[in-house]
Amino acid sequence: MKRMNLRSIMAAAVFAGAFPVAANAQGATKNAVPPPDFQAKVTYCKTCHGLAGQGFHGAIPIPRLAGQQTEYFENQLGAFLERRRENKFMFGVVHALTPEMIAALSSHFHDLDAKPLGGAPKDLAATGKKLYEEGAGSDVPACGSCHGADAKGNGPFPRLAGQLHDYVFNKLVNWSKERGQDPAKPDTSAIMEPIAHGLTQQQVKAVAAYLNYLE
């Protein structure tokens, strides 16, 4: 499959109207959702993602949601709903959520400040820091150029700081199997396709280890 350059991907994402959930949820607040309904959904989410949204190390690593960018959170739920992002669990979860509930949940998890779970090989962190700050060739720019020097994300670009290392590894090495499942509706995650393919598995492990310990 022919790869698009980063400029083309960004333009395609903008003109394709890639952010339906974020657009529909604009202006919605927790006050738009009955408190018992909101609390029930938060409790349901935390069953898998942890009491403080810190994520969970298991047979299938479940990502940290604490501190996540609201725009990214909403965009990705939209991707699950429209089958642009593949996950056997999340379609059913998102299908039951209103735009108001999605906005309320994104705000709730954004405001959480859980400590990283850790567990990544610390001896890889220095190499991962260098890759994060400097990149690795023409297809792998510095990660901080989108995700921020502190890896806390920005708008549609997700927070990576404190993310589970096994989750980051699994997502990057399986990128094309899970993301961009509808090429007619790209979003900013499409930027990562050449980057994910441009990293070796050892480099992915190193970056994931570095991010794992950031607060």
| 207 C-beta neighbours (distance < 10 Å), count | 27
Query: Is 76 within the bounds of a domain?
Result: yes
Query: Is 171 within the bounds of a domain?
Result: yes
Query: Is 57 within the bounds of a domain?
Result: yes
pLDDT tens-place string over residues 111-158: 999 999 999 999 999 999 999 999 998 889 999 999 999 999 999 999
Q: Domain of 54: which CATH number?
A: 1.10.760.10
Total number of domains in the chain: 1
pLDDT tens-place string over residues 82-111: 999 999 899 999 999 999 999 999 999 999
User: Does the structure show a pLDDT above 90 at 71?
Assistant: yes
Q: Is 118 left (phi over 0), alpha (psi -120 to 50) or beta?
A: left
Half-sphere exposure for 106 (CA within 13 Å, toward CB): 29
Q: For the chain, where are the alpha helices, taking DSSP H only?
A: 6-15, 20-25, 35-49, 70-81, 90-95, 99-110, 125-134, 144-147, 165-173, 175-178, 192-198, 201-212
Cβ neighbours for 103, distance < 8 A, ≥ 6 positions apart: 25, 26, 28, 29, 32, 70, 74
Query: Is 104 within the bounds of a domain?
Result: yes
Query: Is 1 within the bounds of a domain?
Result: no
Structural domain that includes position 100: 6-212
